[in-house]
């Protein structure tokens, strides 16, 4: 493993460890407070934090493998492992959301529900603050390291923070207005909706990558413009792209004068590759096919 890959792996794992310890602590606090405080919404929020812990472990383990350098058996590297971890993160979130939602819907059939207490409200408010801090820390490092799974985990943290807001509101309303105890169950349903939305935002881009979805149109236009601006290039066509994890691999054809020397044409190809990698942040590799103009 190269020094760059080792640094990336260590950076991802450090952030994930912070998230794991924070999530385990929050899960315990919310579960105890939700149970003691008779709040279904806060217990549902504790389940969300537990699912965060599972995905933190997946990121910690996965980072050891997807940061490995390319080899003879994996010429494009091991970045698709990161994609699989991202899908796993979203899948855990999806299952958690469905479970929380289904349990809350069944609770509507219960006529007499317990009134939540103040301890449940305090736990929900604490969760909002802590999870938002974890979101900013994880997203910042995820962008710095260009780690899609770390950014997905950050969204997981934020979904937990956002889901704690309706949970807090529901507990507060049920606490101060005992006749509105059903709002605690409504809060649990809202928590489930937040969880499912976060799962969609995580899973869909990863599935698009698995199905070989290429770069967005604006990125394709930018790369084509950069390549066409290189001196000696007459035309750019045959553009292809693919994501391997969070890295973008480009393949394009550049037309040059038919009489151009091989070494000059090679220099043009090298210039295109260097400029695209330098100016487009997600691009990791560019293959340029030189063709005679006629």
Residues 119-143 have pLDDT tens digits of 877 887 888 888 888 888 888 888 8
Q: Is 262 exposed, middle or buried (0-12, 13-18, 19+ CB in 10 A)?
A: exposed
- pTM (two decimals): 0.65
pLDDT of residue 146: 74
Confirm whether 3-210 and 217-292 share one CATH topology.
no
Other beta carbons less than 10 A from residue 225's beta carbon: 11
And the tokens for 117?
Answer: 């207490």
The H helix count followed by the E strand count for the chain is 8, 3
| Per-residue pLDDT tens over the stretch 28-59 | 888 888 788 777 667 777 776 776 777 778 77
Degrees to nearest 5, angle at CA 261 with 227 and 224? 10
What is the rounded radius of gyration, in angstroms, for the C-alpha atoms of the chain? Answer: 25
| Per-residue pLDDT tens over the stretch 187-232 | 677 778 877 887 888 888 888 888 888 888 899 999 999 999 999 9
**Among the CATH numbers 1.20.1510.10, 3.90.800.10, 1.10.3720.10, 1.10.3130.10, which is that of 3-210?**
1.20.1510.10
217-292 folds as Alpha-Beta Plaits (3.30.70)
Q: Could you state, in order of their start, the residue ranges of all structural domains in the chain? A: 3-210, 217-292
pLDDT of residue 116: 66
């Amino acid at each position: 493993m190269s020094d760059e890959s080792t640094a990336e792996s260590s950076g991802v794992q450090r952030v994930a460890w912070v998230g794991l310890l924070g999530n385990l602590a929050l899960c315990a606090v919310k579960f105890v407070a939700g149970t003691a405080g008779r709040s279904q919404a806060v217990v549902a929020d504790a389940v969300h934090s537990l699912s965060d812990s599972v995905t933190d472990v997946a990121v910690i383990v996965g980072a050891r493998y997807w940061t490995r350098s390319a080899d003879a058996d994996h010429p494009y590297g091991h970045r698709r492992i990161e994609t699989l971890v991202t899908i796993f993160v979203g899948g855990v979130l999806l299952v958690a959301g469905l479970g929380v939602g289904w349990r809350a819907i069944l609770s509507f059939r219960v006529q007499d529900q317990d009134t939540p207490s103040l301890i449940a409200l305090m736990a929900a408010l604490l969760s909002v603050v802590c999870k938002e801090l974890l979101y900013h820390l994880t997203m910042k490092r995820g962008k710095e390291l260009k780690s899609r799974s770390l950014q997905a985990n950050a969204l997981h943290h934020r979904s937990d923070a956002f889901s704690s807001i309706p949970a807090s509101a529901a507990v507060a309303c049920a606490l101060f207005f005992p006749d509105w105890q059903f709002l605690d169950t409504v809060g649990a349903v809202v928590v489930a909706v937040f969880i499912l939305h976060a799962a969609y935002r995580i899973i869909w881009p990863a599935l698009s990558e698995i199905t070989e979805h290429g770069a967005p149109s604006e990125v394709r236009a930018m790369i084509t413009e950069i390549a066409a601006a290189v001196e000696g290039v007459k035309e750019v066509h045959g553009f292809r792209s693919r994501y391997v994890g969070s890295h973008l691999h480009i393949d394009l054809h550049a037309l040059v004068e038919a009489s151009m020397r091989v070494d000059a044409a090679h220099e043009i190809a090298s210039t295109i590759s260097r400029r695209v990698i330098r100016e487009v942040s997600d691009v990791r590799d560019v293959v340029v096919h030189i063709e005679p103009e006629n």
